[in-house]
Amino acid sequence: MPCVSVVIPCYNQGAFIDETINSVLAQTCQDFEIIVVNDGSTDPFTVNHLQQLNFPKTRVLHTENQGLSSARNNGIREAQGEYILPLDADDRIGPTYLEQAVQLLDADPELGIVYCKARFFGDRNGEWQLPEYSLEEMLLNNVIFCTSFFRRADWEEVGGFDPAMIYGWEDYDFWLSLIERGRQVQRIPEILFYYRIRSDSMLRSKEKKQKVAILTKIFHKHEALYKKHIDALFDRLVDIKGAYLEAALYRREHATEQATTGQYKQRELLSTRRVDIETKALFFDQLHWEAKDLLEVQLVNEQAIINIKTVKAETEQGRKNLSFENNATFVEDSLYFFTSKDPRLMIRLEAPTCVDKVNKVISLTIELDYLIIGDTVPEHLVSKLNEELTTTRPTLAALEEYIERRERTRSFSIKNIMKKLLLFYTSRSYRVVLRSGLFDRKFYLREYPDVFFQEIDPLIHYCTVGWKENRKPYASFDPEQYKEIYGIPPDTNPLLHFLESRQRL
């Protein structure tokens, strides 16, 4: 009898199944069997291919379509191995995954789940950044992917995967059932699982209603586990508040018969996507988008600097490039600086800048790079603009155009800072003080905390307001004493007077 049974459910994935099977056959541990479960495939290629499938150690089980949970259960019922590894029909595993997992499971009878680090491939590449397992983390979010090892005896004890989990997360429910029975979890600190990302992959953030339904069901199924660890759970909730990064797609339905009035209803959430710094594309499908409606894409729920490459829609007429409006504070070429925690793109099909004669949008894809995410974005923006003092004309024109456009719509949080930056691109006093190196930013922020809480660049504040209020530019410079000694006019910046007087000597 084999030590490991690798169970591969397959529904219309015949184009990838050979690659998946070959990744198993290439294992350093050869004590295994492969069970492919044809879950009622309807694609002619897949049906024909699975009927003729001929690989060593591999057999095919043909069933009616029953869904992923049942397909896994059907395969495991036929399995002869002590350990089970589910594997989706378009994914791959690294060559030592079986060997390392079997060694761990053999060595510790209390160990019930073994998994590894993972990597995306296909339409997106990069390491899958999942938090390391802890019980508190697991009670909030599934951090163990389905291609993880467990004991067949444990599967029998908990009753297998629950077919009633119609929205997915059946593996999450299954892992909690094992953990509830005292099984331990161990992660191999090596990338040994490769998850294929396709436009129709099942790895998508669920709709809000689906999330609520799933989590409610999971809580009720594992209520004793949650109650037992309620204190640790709430501690973890406090720690991670606001930690997850998500993108979201909204629709604003047009409120009148005339699409040119600009009147839209409250925005309606269509879908969300979990994102991180390595995300390269946002994909939204199953859209029901009328041309007169407005689509809003929240790129992330945090301040960000993003390189937006393309925005494309799959329509009835084919793929179209879309133009868009945005709420970025500053834009240079394809680089967008968002200082709002709601960075958005606004897309109107009937707008003159957008595609023509499109009645129905099937899917939306945004190709991008998240360069910086977090509270340091304003600092990076100010630094970038300050660095361009000597070559500022193109940037200045773009910034002026942006501010004029934003002021015609609504105010934004750092509008005054941007205006001051524009002033200082042509301001002699700003350049003189900056280049002198005497202005002490850290001292100024410590001495005048109101500037810190306004999130204003301290040098900008000093050159526009601070010197008029007799604020010190650095610890040893007393502006009131300087004015008294040299008798300078009240409308003269004392530090600037000092610097220019020194230059004349």
SS3 letters across 340-357: CCCCEEEEECCCCCCCCC
Domain that holds residue 449: 427-505
Number of domains in the chain: 3
Closest CA to 265 of 250, 244, 248: 250
Please check whether residues 156 and 269 belong to one and the same domain. no
Q: What is the pLDDT of residue 421?
A: 52
**Is residue 296 situated within a structural domain?**
yes
> CATH number of the domain that 159 lies in?
3.90.550.10
Please check whether residues 229 and 265 belong to one and the same domain. no
HEC assignment per residue over 425-452: HCCHHHHHHHHHCCCCHHHHHHHCHHHH
Please check whether residues 128 and 25 belong to one and the same domain. yes
Q: Is the dihedral of CA 67, 69, 71, 77 positive or negative?
A: negative
Please check whether residues 363 and 448 belong to one and the same domain. no
Q: What is the pLDDT of residue 381?
A: 77
**Is residue 390 situated within a structural domain?**
no
Q: Which amino acid is at 128?
A: W
Q: Find the Cα–Cα–Cα–Cα dihedral 209, 12, 127, 379, rounded to 10°.
A: -50
Local confidence band at 411 (pLDDT 50, 70, 90 cut-offs) = very low
Q: What is the pLDDT of residue 86?
A: 98
How far is 364 from 368, CA to CA, in rounded Å? 13
Domain boundary among 374, 405, 437: 374
pLDDT in tens, 198-225: 754 444 445 556 777 788 888 889 989 9
pLDDT in tens, 473-483: 998 889 988 88
Following DSSP, what letter does each residue of 363-420 receive, concatenated?
Answer: EEEEEEEEEEESTTHHHHHHHHHHHTTTS-HHHHHHHHHHHHHHHTT---TTHHHHHH
Low-confidence winner among 58-67, 142-151, 279-288 (lowest mean pLDDT)? 279-288
This model's pTM is above 0.85 = no
Show Cβ contacts of residue 445 under 8 Å, excluding neighbours closer than 6 positions.
451, 452, 458
Local confidence band at 414 (pLDDT 50, 70, 90 cut-offs) = very low
Closest CA to 50 of 74, 17, 92, 75: 17
Please check whether residues 9 and 152 belong to one and the same domain. yes
Beta strands in 254-355 (DSSP E): 268-274, 281-284, 294-298, 304-315, 318-321, 325-326, 330-332, 335-338, 344-348
Please check whether residues 441 and 482 belong to one and the same domain. yes
The yes-or-no verdict on residue 427 having pLDDT over 90 is no
| Mean pLDDT calculated for residue range 74-95 | 96
Local confidence band at 455 (pLDDT 50, 70, 90 cut-offs) = low
| Mean pLDDT calculated for residue range 76-86 | 97
**Is residue 458 situated within a structural domain?**
yes
pLDDT in tens, 2-29: 999 999 999 999 999 999 999 999 999 9
Q: Which has the higher per-residue pLDDT, 278 or 388?
A: 278
Q: Chain-wide mean pLDDT for the chain?
A: 81
Q: Find the Cα–Cα–Cα–Cα dihedral 166, 169, 174, 177, rounded to 10°.
A: -100
| Mean pLDDT calculated for residue range 217-238 | 81
**Is residue 411 situated within a structural domain?**
no
Angle at 291 between CA 289 and CA 292, to 5 degrees: 110
Please check whether residues 99 and 207 belong to one and the same domain. yes
pLDDT in tens, 315-343: 777 788 888 888 888 888 889 989 888 89
Distances (CA, A) of 496 to 434, 472, 488, 500, 502: 10, 12, 11, 6, 10
Q: What is the DSSP-derived secondary structure letter of residue 52?
A: T
Please check whether residues 273 and 226 belong to one and the same domain. no
Please check whether residues 299 and 154 belong to one and the same domain. no
Q: What is the pLDDT of residue 297?
A: 93
**Is residue 370 situated within a structural domain?**
yes
Q: Across-strand partners of 325? A: 346
Q: Which has the higher per-residue pLDDT, 458 or 10?
A: 10
**Is residue 409 situated within a structural domain?**
no
Please check whether residues 50 and 195 belong to one and the same domain. yes
Q: What is the pLDDT of residue 257?
A: 46
**Is residue 128 situated within a structural domain?**
yes
Q: What is the pLDDT of residue 3?
A: 97
| Mean pLDDT calculated for residue range 146-171 | 92
Please check whether residues 283 and 336 belong to one and the same domain. yes
- Exposed, middle or buried: residue 391 (CB in 10 Å: 0-12, 13-18, 19+)? exposed
Domain boundary among 214, 240, 266: 240
Show Cβ contacts of residue 300 under 8 Å, excluding neighbours closer than 6 positions.
245, 246, 247, 275, 306, 343, 370, 373
Closest CA to 182 of 202, 206, 210, 158: 158
**Is residue 117 situated within a structural domain?**
yes
| Mean pLDDT calculated for residue range 434-438 | 83
Please check whether residues 145 and 275 belong to one and the same domain. no
Domain boundary among 192, 224, 240: 240
